Amino acid sequence: MKLKHKGLTIGLILILIVSVLSGCTSKTKVEVQQQEEVPSTEKVVYNTALHANGENGAVSSGRVEATEVGLEVLKAGGNAIDAAVATSFAIQFFEIESTGIAGGGFMLIHDAKSGEDVVIDMRETAPAATTPDMFLNTDVLDTNGDGEVDYYEANYHPLAIGVPGNVAGLELALNTYGTMSMQEIMDIVCAKAEQGIYVTNKVESAIAECYGYIQNYEASKELLLNDLGLPYVEGDIIYNPDLIETYQKIAKHGSEIFYKGELAQKMVDEIQKQGGILTMEDLVNYEATIIEPSTGTYRGYKIVSSPPPSSGGTHIIQGLNILENFDLKAMGHRSVDEFFLLQEIGKYLYTDRAKYMADTLFVDVPLKGLTSKAYAKSIADKIDLNKADNEVTAGMPADYEAVDTTHLSVIDKDGNMVSYTNTVNNYLGNAMVIPGTGIIMNNELTDFDFSNLDSINAPKPGMRPLSSMSPTFVFTPEGEPLMSLGTPGGYTIFFTVLQNIINVIDHGMDVNTAINIERCSYHPAGAYYGEEFYLYIEPKDDETSIDEKILEELRARGQIVASKHDYYGSTNAVYRDTKGFHAVADRRRDSHAGAY
């Protein structure tokens, strides 16, 4: 993929109208006038590769620069964990719209020598002053005065900031499973960061969409708008020297400076000044932990993925268990029967998720039942391939997750693997930059069911909001690693990973095709996404819709379906076979695959 350098259009006055309907925008319409001509002098291109092969290792991530950093670490003798930590800090610098060090995530690690798989849970937590009803307080949060608090008002309020987990989690990963020092890692990341962030079309859209919220904070304006106070556009370069300095401080002092020292104090001061509730005590008390993954099997292949507080791994295993009762190969990829079956299964997965899933340190989740083959069989028995069951979703609470986030996968010469999904939640998180640090805060607390006090996932102090992030490994029936994969996409994440897996196992596709071929996404009913659940089917690039006959047939069986070009997810995968090491990136975002 090549993105042309646009710079700022010569001789034009740009009227940018940021619409409230278009995503993470403020409720007021904002008009921006570009007053000056700024000719572009330098031609810069952003080149990505969707597939790379090598003899020693492979990295796939959401940005070229981050993949290059990971490869550099592997070439310097680092193992997959060293490379993944470096790629992570790089992605948290370069994929500025999707993640950051003040976010959180789940890192799945495979140790080739011991065969052990572990998850580092670095999900954000709710501050101690969190109350279940804090997002319902219209006095504080009703920014447009309509007597209600909506998703965007909550998302871009400082109350939505959770205690960040990435810095503690990455340090834990490096100290426990890596071989290099934080200083060695950061030196490689910071050297790359000096070149600045090339603004892709995706970065441009994210900044434009959040323009109204960026206006709330001086430091956000300084970082994310150009000298004219306008959103950066594709081809521009964003420099973030404050974040480079922050990275060097973390290299020198460790995570302590982020959770107890100068950086902690700066975050607390700014967040409290803006009306948030995060305290020094919340940061001091934050802990990343090593936990056991969710595991299951699918047609003899072993599936290893994220456990709660992510719902992702559990529902991938549940979905695959249900699918095991059907002959997908005979149905055919993108057949009416397969689409129909995926939507029916989606109804069960998302209904169970809403009812049962939350942080297991706070609530009991019937994990054994959700991942049991017998439970899956009981669901499979209820599915009639000729008639949709539209009662499955009855009583499902609104689902409010953002679809941003990022994923990276790494494999080294010894077969160690990492799969890491991380996020600040929405595009540009909370849109709040902490002055003097280059750090953008998350808004992860809106992954709680913040508008429903009866929900199992209602906010509580110290609790981790429910996630869908699904870093996943698949092993062959003989126990050999088949692939490490994962994707962004909020609540659609596990539905995407599930399709990537069946494309390989049932439809015999190579990993590149399995990831890049058109797919579908299930959308549960909810106030934000619409009153009804539905299945979106991605058409081919040169088509506006899939075959009308397929849609008609699905509707005739009672399903709600639509075909449109909105994409959900962007998978990054690595694997090893007899020909060597391979990285695969998804064409849907700015991702890059590298190997050597």
- Distances, alpha carbon 66 to alpha carbons 280, 408, 571, 572, in Å: 31, 9, 15, 12
Residue 300 in tokens: 């003899």
Which of residues 240, 343, 351, 405 is near ligand GLY by CB under 6 A?
405
Tokens found for residue 28: 């007021």
- Choose, by CB under 6 A, the member of 188, 402, 432, 546 that binds ligand GLY: 402
The strand pair at 301-305 and 51-54 is best described as: unpaired
Nearest Cα to Cα of residue 469 among 388, 561, 405: 405
User: Which residues make beta-bridge pairs with 562?
Assistant: 536
Residue 405 is a catalytic residue: yes
Residues facing residue 535 across a β-bridge: 522, 561
- Residue 88 is a binding residue for ligand GLY (CB under 6 A): no
Does position 349 interact with ligand GLY (CB under 6 A)? The reply is no
Whether 479 and 304 have beta carbons less than 8 Å apart is answered as: no
Stretch of 89-97, 206-214, 406-414, 466-474 contacting ligand GLY, by CB under 6 A: 466-474
| Dihedral sign (CA 231, 15, 216, 423) | negative
Give me the residue label for tokens 């079956």. 341
Spatial distance between the Cα atoms of 239 and 590, rounded to a whole number of angstroms:
19
- Specify the residue, 402 or 514, whose C-beta has the smaller distance to ligand GLY: 402
Q: Are 472 and 108 in contact (CB under 8 A)?
A: yes
* Cβ 17 to ligand GLY shortest distance, Å: 28
Minimum CB separation of residue 576 from ligand GLY in Å reads 28
The residue among 91, 98, 82 whose CA lies nearest residue 60 is 91
Nearest residue (CB) to ligand GLY, 70 versus 490: 490
Annotated binding site: 123, 423-425, 447, 467-468, 490
401 binds ligand GLY, rule: CB under 6 A: yes
Return the residue matching tokens 């219209």.
138
User: Of these residues, 67, 393, 405, 437, which one is catalytic?
Assistant: 405
Q: Are 484 and 305 in contact (CB under 8 A)?
A: no
Q: Which stretch binds ligand GLY (CB under 6 A): 138-146, 212-220, 345-353, 467-475?
A: 467-475
**Toward ligand GLY, which CB reaches closer, 286 or 596?**
286
Contact set for ligand GLY, span 256-275 (CB under 6 A): none
Residues with Cβ < 8 Å from 557, sequence gap 6 or more? 340, 385, 386, 387, 388
Count of CB atoms situated within 10 Å of the CB of 201: 17
Rounded Cα gap, residues 136 and 201, in angstroms: 35
Nearest distance, CB of residue 123 and ligand GLY, angstroms = 8
Count of residues near ligand GLY by CB under 6 A: 11
- End-to-end, the C-alpha distance of the chain in Å comes to 20
C-alpha distances out from residue 65 to 166, 189, 428, 587, Å: 19, 9, 19, 16
Q: Is 469 in the site for ligand GLY (CB under 6 A)?
A: yes
Cβ-based nearer residue to ligand GLY, 425 or 496: 425
Q: CB 151 → ligand GLY: shortest distance, Å?
A: 13
Answer for which of 88, 99, 425, 492 binds ligand GLY (CB under 6 A) is 425
Residue in 394, 399, 426, 405 with CA at minimum distance from that of residue 529: 399
Q: Tell me which stretch binds ligand GLY (CB under 6 A): 171-179, 400-408, 454-462, 543-551.
A: 400-408
Residues 445-464, mask of contacts with ligand GLY (x by CB under 6 A): --x-----------------
Are 521 and 535 in contact by the 8 Å Cβ rule? The answer is yes
Q: How far apart are CA 289 and CA 294, in angstroms?
A: 15
Cβ nearer to ligand GLY, comparing 235 with 309:
309
**Shortest Å distance, C-beta 490 to ligand GLY:** 5
Q: Binders of ligand GLY among 492-531, rule CB under 6 A?
A: 493
Going by C-alpha positions, the residue among 205, 206, 193 that lies closest to residue 237 is 193
Q: Which residues are annotated as a binding site for L-glutamate?
A: 123, 423-425, 447, 467-468, 490
Whose Cβ is closer to ligand GLY: residue 13's or residue 527's?
A: 527
Q: Could you tell me the smallest distance in angstroms from the CB atom of residue 403 to ligand GLY?
A: 8
Our finding on whether 490 is near ligand GLY (CB under 6 A) is yes
Q: Pick between residue 310 and residue 437 the one whose CB is nearest to ligand GLY.
A: 310
Query: Cβ of residue 351: shortest distance to ligand GLY, in angstroms?
Result: 18
**Residues recognised as catalytic:** 405
Positions that interact with ligand GLY (CB under 6 A): 401-402, 405, 423, 425, 447, 467-469, 490, 493
